[in-house]
Amino acid sequence: MEKKEMETMLIHEGYNSHEHRGSLAPPLFQTSTYTFGTAEQGERSFAGSGEAYIYSRLGNPTVELFEKRTAALEGGAAALAFGSGMAAVSAALLAFLQAGDHVVCSKGLYGCTYGFLQLLEEKFGIAHTLCNMETEAGIEAALRPETKVIFVETPINPTMKLIDLALVAHTAGKHGIKTIVDNTFCSPYLQQPLLLGCDVVLHSATKYIGGHGDVIAGVVVCREAETAALLQPVRKDVGGIMSPFDAWLLLRGLKTLAVRMDRHCQNAEKVAAFLRQHPLVEQVWYPEDELAHRQMRKGGGVLAFTVRGGKEEAQAVMNRLRLIAIAVSLGDTETLIQHPATMTHAVVPPEVRQEMGIYENMLRLSVGLEAADDIIADLRQAME
């Protein structure tokens, strides 16, 4: 059969309704454990025969369908689903790191990812270095003999700076280092890091993959099956598994990912254009440069901007909004706004936030699916 386009894969990949009594929607296997026909089958299953499901922390049909579909969307060999985006982040790092190792990170990270890296350093001596990753020489200057992982966000949260993934993958490959990319801001529809040479891609599936603000989940996709096998014991023994019902919600969310992402991007482009010409706005960050066109389908649904003044002025704008909700997270149907310095990145020390480019007067906007004119009207009245 010919290779299917992304829009078709989002709806059909990995599922055959005729194998499930004609059910158009994938069934929800809402069970914690499974029965064996015989004691011998149970013995073989625990020995790794794979002939039967054992326990939903180890495998579940609904979760596995979500994993197979997500792996195909990212162009990977295998995927593992997790109970949250941070469960995915922590498992991906723990799979490749031991005490005394070193991680090179993009110069800008989600606050909880930064917090987990701090935890790794304090408990296990796993150090990390922030790097702007603009050149091969710059990346290599940050490497150490004990560097095992390069961890990248692109676009970076919340500054929207882009990292050249092909450059990072090439440089890491020269030194036998694994590359892990947080692709949450793009979803597989806008960006596919594995096809650019990276080893592992992960998502907070809570965001665009779910798309409706009603599920907490994460997923890791690996370019090679052998890499995914390294994550299996971490998920099994740490226990950050996705529930069957969450997987069912995510499969439903994936069906509309393409149309939702197109609308998110269209709205974000219009909002960014409005903000750039507003006298109260100092700067707008939204991916529209040559690199964005090279490795992303479109610019995404998130942007950041600074208002004239400081924290008080930024918070005053937030407090005057009527349609746009003050909330963390992103990728929902609703437009959300938050103040990174005191919310998502509050755990990051002020001097490190400054180095990352996170300012006191910066706001991050996740542009939703409402009419763009209504979103803009709300921003306009809030900044009067």
Residues annotated catalytic, as ranges: 57, 110, 182, 207
Count of all residues that appear for the chain in the document = 384
Q: Which amino acid is at 96?
A: F
Q: How far is the C-alpha of 358 from the C-alpha of 108, rounded, in Å?
A: 9
Is 292:190 a contact under the CB 8 Å cutoff?
no
CA neighbor of 186 nearest in space, from 220, 153, 151, 212: 153
Is 343:158 a contact under the CB 8 Å cutoff?
no
In DSSP notation, 53-74 reads --BTTT--HHHHHHHHHHHHHH
Contacts of residue 208, defined as CB under 8 A and 6 or more positions apart, other chains included, come to: 184, 186, 187, 189, 257, 260, 261, 264, 301, 330, 331
Q: How far is the C-alpha of 190 from the C-alpha of 181, rounded, in Å?
A: 14
CA neighbor of 75 nearest in space, from 185, 219, 195: 195
Q: How far is the C-alpha of 116 from the C-alpha of 128, rounded, in Å?
A: 11
Query: β-strand 336-338 against 362-366: which pairing, if any?
Result: antiparallel
